[in-house]
Amino acid sequence: MNLIAAGNIDPAQSVNWLLPATSELIYGGLASIIIFALIYKFAGPAAKKGMADRTAKIQAELDGAAEALESARTEAEEIRRAAGDIASERARLLADADAQAAALLSEGRERLAAEIAELEARAQAEASGLAGRMGDELRIEVSRISSSVIDQLVADSLDDATQQALIEDFIQKVGAGS
């Protein structure tokens, strides 16, 4: 059954299976041209700007990466150069440490020798003082012992009559001297 033959044309159905009706082609084409023109006029610059911004952003990232690469190369070169400086600095520090250790050792030996000399002098002085005191104590002890021995000898060797005569003789000499 053909819709055209029956006289009833269904507007939802097309006569041709591939092409729409002519009025739809005209209105659809004009609407599409207007929409494409509006998109070209308003969305085109925004799209161009977005693409330009994206290009600028990518270019900035590429430039930043190139600068970072150059900076990394420069730092690597400085590190390699510093590695050589580290060895010489290490040698210099070790030489300084050896010199300081030698100076401390020498200074310590001098100080120790001075302290030993001072201690020897002090010990010598103490020994001299101790010898003097010992001599004095020995003299005192000898005189004390000799005094007690003399007293005992005198008491044993003198009889009462001789002792009485000595005492009277002493009293007369003291009386004559006054």
What is the span of the domain harbouring residue 106? 20-135
d(CA 90, CA 97): 10
Handedness of CA 96, 101, 104, 109 (dihedral sign): negative
- Tens digits of residue pLDDT in 148-172: 888 787 777 777 787 788 888 888 8
Residue 108: inside a domain = yes
Residue 50: inside a domain = yes
The pTM for the full model equals: 0.33
- Is 3 in contact with 10 (CB distance < 8 Å)? yes
Residue-level pLDDT at 2: 46
Residue 40: inside a domain = yes
Residue-level pLDDT at 1: 42
Residue 177: inside a domain = no
Place of tokens 């004009």: 30
- Is 28 in contact with 20 (CB distance < 8 Å)? yes
